[in-house]
Amino acid sequence: MLITAGLVSGCAAEPSPAGTSAMPSPAATQAPSPESPDPTTTGPRLVPEGAAADNLPLFTAVAETVWASPQKAEGRAYIDGLVMAGFDQAAMQITDDATTIGNPAESLQFSVQWGQECLIGQVGSAADAVITITTDALPGGGCLLGATRPIDW
């Protein structure tokens, strides 16, 4: 099941009475222009104290953004995007971009361990879509079964 959430908000400050000036409060800010989006007022956010499910909207948004890009078959792009969104690279796993004979992988999986839970994403030609879920971490730690590649960049 694909779960996506998006939130766009924007408020304008009340005009100040004639002859005075007032700074808008943090809750009353202008909506960002399309030329310079303000990441503090749009889209899902990282919830550091939340559960994996609380962070699934951001995880999914990052995966969908990469999937829509020319780098959609490159595992590093998903990891880099997740790091830029605030997820801990040391808690991530990713499968190889290519098969053992050098063909593009039909499916690419990536994950972030979040406490005793995992955020897991899957993309590729086999599904031709972004699929994300949360689940319990593996008993020995980590999220993905089988061989994963080092995240050493």
In terms of Cα–Cα distance, which of 82, 109, 78, 83 is closest to 96?
109
Give pLDDT tens digits for 67-102. Answer: 999 999 999 999 999 999 999 999 999 999 999 999
- What pLDDT does residue 65 have? 98
| 3-class DSSP state of 110 | strand
| 3-class DSSP state of 132 | strand
**Considering the chain, what is the average pLDDT of its residues?**
80
Percent of the chain past pLDDT 70, that is, above it, reads 73
| 77 vs 42 pLDDT, higher one | 77
Helix residue ranges per DSSP H, 68-146:
75-84
Distance CA 134, CA 116 (A): 11
Structure tokens at 132: 């994300």
What is the residue extent of each domain of the chain? 52-136
For residue 115, pLDDT beyond 90: yes
| DSSP code for 91 | G
Query: Among 33-42, 47-56, 141-150, whose mean pLDDT is lowest?
Result: 33-42
- What pLDDT does residue 138 have? 97
For the four alpha carbons of 134, 139, 143 and 147, in that order, the dihedral sign comes to: negative
- Tokens 């780098």 belong to residue: 71
Distance CA 127, CA 45 (A): 26
123: Cβ contacts below 8 Å, ≥ 6 apart: 63, 66, 67, 72, 78, 107, 108, 129, 130, 131
